[in-house]
């Protein structure tokens, strides 16, 4: 009897290649794969028209190339500037400041922080396409006299007009050690849609091939989808490693960088080729690299010029590595 294979390379190149990810590349191989010429042409056309419309409403970008456009400025102001232009994007992936005094934020009184988040989330909702979605990554903050590590989703989950589909637990493994409580090892992703019934969700593109009993049958039929199982609402992705001799090539100098594998899963699930992906708190632009490497387009806002500079250097190395992989890929 031939045993069935789950997620063969033929069926699911994304997951197959993701398992080969070596931290010696600036990105997982699934993002470095060369894009179709037709997709690249279409993307340049759409990017030119996006740039023209952005210039009219919010001025010159800090950088724009190969489907990746970055503005250096305050996201709320830039979003307000965009309102009248009629621009829409399909997917927002973001992690805002958590109001905990990190080097890139000015902590606000809690009520002001919640109001500020509600303002920018409301503007994003207005500029999201009908089948679009919003993925919000947040951690914990202290609420004086109430709680030490209060999950930010408890404070923000209903503070925008988006419809909350679910919460995903991102378990990242290593982290700081606590002595008088349990060491924190997860953050959350809130997955929202603009329309509760009609939203992009490409489950087959993110199926998990790690199936325990792929040959199990019921009534003569295989129980499990040949592409693999639904990856569930608990995701295990390590943080990007840092430190002498351990640092991944993916690592930049940004202190809160997303692992590309996490954002790639979101991009592939919640957008289609050539769609526009937005991050109002772009940092090192991980969402931008995951978007462009998957044949989507990206628009990012980032308030700190040094992070913009770092993100552009990162994107250029990504393009260089993508070209190198493309040169090594046989045509037939």
By beta-carbon proximity to ligand SAM, the closer residue of 12 and 270 is 270
Q: How many CB atoms lie within 10 A of CB 126?
A: 12
Q: Is 302 in the site for ligand SAM (CB under 6 A)?
A: yes
Selection from 248, 313, 243 nearest residue 284 by Cα:
313
3-state DSSP assignment of residue 312? helix
User: d(Cα 314, Cα 306) in Å, to the nearest integer?
Assistant: 12
Q: How far is the CB of 283 from ligand SAM (least distance, A)?
A: 3
Q: Is 286 in the site for ligand SAM (CB under 6 A)?
A: yes
User: d(Cα 87, Cα 128) in Å, to the nearest integer?
Assistant: 9
User: d(Cα 178, Cα 181) in Å, to the nearest integer?
Assistant: 6
In the list 140, 162, 301, 315, the residue contacting ligand SAM (rule: CB under 6 A) is 301
Q: Which residue has the tokens 């700190």?
A: 304
In the list 74, 80, 204, 309, the residue contacting ligand SAM (rule: CB under 6 A) is 74
In the list 12, 47, 66, 95, the residue contacting ligand SAM (rule: CB under 6 A) is 95
Q: Is 191 in the site for ligand SAM (CB under 6 A)?
A: no
In the list 17, 51, 65, 105, the residue contacting ligand SAM (rule: CB under 6 A) is 105
Which helix (H) or strand (E) covers residue 144, if one does? none
Q: Is 307 in the site for ligand SAM (CB under 6 A)?
A: yes
Q: What residues contact residue 155 under an 8 Å CB cut-off, 6+ apart? A: 110, 114, 141
Q: Is 140 in the site for ligand SAM (CB under 6 A)?
A: no
Q: Is 125 in the site for ligand SAM (CB under 6 A)?
A: no
Selection from 44, 45, 194 nearest residue 121 by Cα:
194
By beta-carbon proximity to ligand SAM, the closer residue of 283 and 295 is 283
Q: Is 303 in the site for ligand SAM (CB under 6 A)?
A: yes
In the list 21, 25, 188, 254, the residue contacting ligand SAM (rule: CB under 6 A) is 254
């Amino acid at each position: 009897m031939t045993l069935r294979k789950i997620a063969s390379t033929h069926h699911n190149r994304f997951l197959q290649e993701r398992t080969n990810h070596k931290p010696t590349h600036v990105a997982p191989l699934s993002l470095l794969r060369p894009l179709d010429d037709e997709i690249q042409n279409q993307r340049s056309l759409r990017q030119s028209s996006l740039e023209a419309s952005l210039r009219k409403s919010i001025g010159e970008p800090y950088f724009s190339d190969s489907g990746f456009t970055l503005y250096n400025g305050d996201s709320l102001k830039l979003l307000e500037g965009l309102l009248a232009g009629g621009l829409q994007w399909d997917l927002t992936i973001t992690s805002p400041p958590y109001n905990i005094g990190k080097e890139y934020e000015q902590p606000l009184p809690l009520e002001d922080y919640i109001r500020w988040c509600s303002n920018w989330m409301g503007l994003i909702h207005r500029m999201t396409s009908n089948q679009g979605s919003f993925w919000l990554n947040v951690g914990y903050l202290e609420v004086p006299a109430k709680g030490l590590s209060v999950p930010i989703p408890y404070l923000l989950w209903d503070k925008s007009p988006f419809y909350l589909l679910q919460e995903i637990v991102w378990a990242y493994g290593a982290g700081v050690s606590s002595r008088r409580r349990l060491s924190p090892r997860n953050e959350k992703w809130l997955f929202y849609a603009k329309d509760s019934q009609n939203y992009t969700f490409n489950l087959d593109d993110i199926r998990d091939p790690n199936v325990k009993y792929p040959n199990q049958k019921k009534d003569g039929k295989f129980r499990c989808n040949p592409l693999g199982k639904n990856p569930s609402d608990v995701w295990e992705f390590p943080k990007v490693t840092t430190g002498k001799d351990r640092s991944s090539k993916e690592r930049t100098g940004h202190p809160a960088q997303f692992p590309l594998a996490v954002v790639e899963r979101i991009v592939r699930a919640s957008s289609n080729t050539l769609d526009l992906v937005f991050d109002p708190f772009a940092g090192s632009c991980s969402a931008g690299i995951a978007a462009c490497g998957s044949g989507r387009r990206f628009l990012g806002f980032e308030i700190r010029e040094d992070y913009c500079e770092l993100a552009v250097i990162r994107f250029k190395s990504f393009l260089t590595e993508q070209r190198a992989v493309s040169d090594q890929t046989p045509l037939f």
